Structure 1
Amino acid sequence: MKTMHMLPLLAALVLAGCATAVPDLPAEPAAPAKFKDAGPSWTVAAPAEAQDRGAWWKVFADPGLDALVERAALRNTGLQDAAARLAQARAIARSVDADRTVQAGLGGGVVRQAGANTPNGARPATLTTAGASLAYEVDLFGRLSRASSAAALDVRAQEALLQSARLLVQSEVAQTYLALRTLDTERALVAETVAAYRSTLDLTRRRHRAGDIAELDVARVETELAATEADALALERQRAQLEHALAVLVGEPASAFSVPPSERPVALPQIPAGIPATVLARRPDVSAAQSAILAAQARVGVARAAWFPSLSLTADGGYASPELGDLFKWSARAWSVSALLSLPLFDGGRREASVQSATAQLDAELARYRGQVLAAFRDVEDQLSALRLLQQQAETQARAVSFATRATTLSESRYRNGMDSQLELLDARRSELRNRRDALHVRGSQYQATVGLIRALGGGWGPGT
């Protein structure tokens, strides 16, 4: 009869190993054989987020940028938040691991009681105790080990997110700084044009006073000068905003932060041909999404293990005596050893809801991971196509600048010789300024796309970049 009563429990023990198995993961998005805008030499590879990225921003060969990236690494608030979250995840993992070890404790107490169980019968008595206890839960169905694995994967995900935050801050500092330097060059160009217009205005006023030209010619030059000065002020406003953005990135108050203007040219690195797509596998956000999937998968196993028995072992030993002076005598010793096997029967659907919740979380992490992978390929394609088309645009714009400069030179000569009107000269200068500024904007876009590609690839395009 006792054997018949034990059959349901034995059956549960036999089937538990299969029942607690975690679900298989579906296939991830199919990776393209090559990137559309990078030529046939691009390939795909497995994740390698731990690969060294190096100080990739040094490819721009600008000491000012190097210094700002170093300052941001120390004081950026986003990095500090990500580091704190990593520390929290590590502490939680240590706490979860503690459940897999023997728990030991010391205890003592004094109890005043009366009743049939007291040494003096119904008379009140005092019982003093002192002892130690040990407890250990046998991980029969992997619940504790899966919980520990899930916590360790959470730590790995937070490590990847910290790396992702670091890469984000580095790229934002680089893009903001390069935009500021491009703006410095444009400000110098506009200031040079303002100076040229002022010189022309002085000459025009002298000719007007001499009676050679009408007042309309003076008004036209004054209009161009005022419009160009307004552009210069707009550029000053944009520079101030970029400077303030840099202050936030490096973790400093905008009121006490400044970047001195500089017209020193910043190198535009060339993307080497034939970069393997293995560098894409270093993206920390993709790695974090992978770890989140594995952690969610482990937690499905933890939730399923709640349906099956748990085995706890406990041991207590110490002393108990009604007299404090006799507490540690050999005759006052007491001990106990116990094993408790518990099997849940009915809980109103709580365990089933936990399994469903864990499964839904796994599905959500899978969808998030697929989206992250697809976004990663899109980011690389966006920046590769941008760089390819910007290079063509830069070459075309350079020709436009050359033609506009030549046109201004010829128009100025013809104007001084009385062959062209002032209106034609002003049109030529306006066209040259517009084309020069357009060329600077293209150059600035190339900087932004280069940093964008580095970030999309997970930091550089090879070890030590």
Structure 2
Amino acid sequence: MKTFALTTLALLLAACSSAPLKPPHAPPEPAPWKAVPADAAASGASAAPDAWALWADPALRSLQAQAVARNRDVSQALLRVQKAQLAWQASQQDQEPRPSLSLQTSASRPLEAGRLSRSMSLSAGLSYEADLWGRLSAATQAQAAQLEAQHTDVLAAQGLIRSQVAESFWTLAALAQEAPLIEAQRQGAAEILALTRLRVQEGKLLPIEVDKAAIALQALQVRQVQQGRDRLLQQLSLETLLDDSSLVLPATLQMPSTTLPALALGSPGEVLSRRPDVQRARWGVDVALAQQRVAQAARYPQLSFSLGVSTGGSEWRDWLDKPLANLAANLVVPLVDWRRLELQQAQAHTDVEAAALSLRDALHKAQVEIEQVAAERQALAAEAQAQAARLAEAQRTERLAQLRYEVGSIAKLDWLQVRNARLAAEQEAVQMRLRQALNQARLIKVLAL
């Protein structure tokens, strides 16, 4: 009874030895959207888990599925999930009884003289630590939160891979659409250069006009060389993303339609809550809080029990004659090492504050990123309207110039220049569609759809 009373007193003193835990300050509510109109945030296509199905063609979705299944970054993220799951399972084992089994043998003989004596022993035991203050369960909760954080890394890697595959795919499609336009423009520039030389020889143009026409032709030739390089780079990028050095792309690559479906952003809180980086930061706070509870509970006495059976002797038959059984209780009071415990608890508190700050930082950066992509989307929509008006004007001008050339009111040189201007406008239209498509891919990525 005296021992029990002393043990109870020690437990009570340890329980009162520190202040209660204080949760970190909650992050502020996200501010309303600034670059997104209120009606645009509430209207549009629903935030489906697979937003790519709204407007990506089957060939692109097939490549995205292959990349998600085979990409090395995604595979590494999945391995980190497996590692975190094993650590979580190991922490669960700490709350269960731990068996042990040992076999020992020894031989001894006096240095002066004597007979060699041997002895052998066998022992089996079972030990268990009573989780009085929740230290072991808090450690398991920390590992579980870490496991969830690793799951968010997988989602982030998959979203990034899908976006990168789409960007390379559409860039290749845009290059394929531009190639015949640039070739037609190059042929026209070559004719313009030849006609300019004739008119200079006739004295109808200044010699400087030949240099201008040659520069225009050279720029188109350089553009064709750059196109070949860009196609190779995008092909290599796709092969890296899909981990396939012999990737064969479809013969015809399609860009998305000119009218892209609108996506409903939703409220800032709803959007930010599904971002993997924000989710990871939230799980980081849970990890830090659980580890803080571990540091707090480490100040309290630790009570463990052990049950063992052992036997031994110099002969095998002695093992059944002298078996021993023991039952022990062990009480450890770590409060005597209070300096080390204070440092551990201060470090755990600092980790909680750092995790809370990281969460607020992740929320702010995520909202700013979404605002930037949404603002770019609106600017591109305005630019697309202006570019479409320019293309329509260039097409009307070309038709008028062709009619005037056919009736002989203008020279062929003038008509070729007008036609090249229309081809340049069509190239800009292709680039505008590509920019809008890439913006849409980034929007899906930052919205984690």
TM more than 0.5:
yes
1:282-293 correspondence to structure 2 within 5 Å: 282-293=274-285
Map Cα deviations across residues 436-459 of structure 1 (whole Å, 9 max, x no partner). Answer: 222222211111111111111111
Aligned letter for 1:377?
A: Q
Aligned CA distance change for structure 1 residues 76 and 263 (closer, same or farther; 3 Å): closer
8 A contact 1:243–1:258 mirrored in 2: no
Q: Between Structure 1 and Structure 2, how many residues are aligned?
A: 439
After TM superposition, give the deviation of residue 143 of structure 1 in Å.
Answer: 0.8
Asked if 1:32 corresponds to 2:31, the answer is yes
Q: Aligned runs of 1:316-395 on 2, under 5 Å?
A: 316-327=308-319, 329=320, 331-347=321-337, 349-395=339-385
SS in structure 1 at match of 2:126: strand
Where 2:441 maps in the other structure, the secondary structure is helix
Alignment partner of 2:424 out of 434, 437, 444: 434
Cα deviation for residue 325 of structure 1 reads 2.2
TM-score between both structures, scaled by the size of structure 1: 0.83
Taking the aligned partners of 1:133 and 1:323, their CA distance within structure 2 comes to 22
Partner residue, 1:47:
none
Q: CA deviation at 1:289?
A: 1.1
1:246 paired with 2:238, answer yes
Asked whether 1:109 is paired with 2:110, we answer no
Is residue 158 of structure 2 the alignment partner of residue 163 of structure 1? Answer: no
Match of 2:446 among 413, 436, 456: 456
Give the direction of change, closer, same or farther, for the CA distance of 1:265–1:346 in structure 2 (3 Å limit): closer
Counterparts of 2:392 and 2:56, CA distance in 1:
28
Deviation of 1:33 (Å): 4.1
2:399 counterpart (409, 419, 425): 409
Residue 313 of structure 1: how far off its partner (Å): 0.4
Match of 2:81 among 66, 82, 86: 86
Q: Equivalent residue for 1:226?
A: 218
Aligned residues of 2:47 and 2:264 also touching (Cα < 8 A): no
Deviation at 1:196, TM superposition (A): 3.6
- Deviation of 1:377 after TM superposition, in Å, equals 1.3
**Segment of structure 1 superposing worse, 209-218 or 285-294:** 209-218
Pairwise CA distance, 1:279? 4.3
Contact 2:192 2:413 in 1 (8 A): no
The separation in 1 between residues aligned to 2:178 and 2:292, in whole angstroms, is 58
Q: Return the offset for 1:107.
A: 2.0
Preserved CA contact (<8 Å) 1:108 1:131: yes
Relative distance call for 1:153 and 1:434 in structure 2 (3 A) is same
Matched with 2:262 is: 271
- Aligned-pair identity in percent equals 25
Tell me the secondary structure at the aligned position of residue 32 of structure 1. Answer: coil
Q: CA deviation at 1:351?
A: 2.2
Give the letter aligned to residue 176 of structure 2.
D
**So what's the TM-score if we normalise by structure 2?**
0.86
Residue 398 (1) aligns with residue 394 (2): no
C-alpha spacing 1:257/1:273, structure 2 compared with 1 (3 Å):
closer
In structure 2, distance between residues paired with 1:10 and 1:244:
65
Question: Shift of the alpha carbon at 1:430?
Answer: 4.6
Whether 2:30 is the aligned partner of 1:11: answer: no
1:110 deviates by 2.4
User: Which runs of 5 or more residues in structure 2 are unaligned?
Assistant: none
Q: Deviations over 1:101-136 (max 9, x none)?
A: 100122222244689xxxxxx997544322310000
Aligned 8 A contact 1:41 1:276 in 2: no
**2:67 is matched with which residue: 59, 72, 77?**
72
Aligned AA (1:270): P
Specify whether residues 194 and 380 from structure 1 end up closer, same or farther in structure 2 by C-alpha distance, changes over 3 A only.
same
Question: Does the Cα contact within 8 Å between 1:320 and 1:334 map onto a contact in 2?
Answer: no
Structure 1: state its 5+ residue gaps: 44-50, 116-121, 460-465
Q: Give the RMSD, CA atoms, in angstroms.
A: 3.4
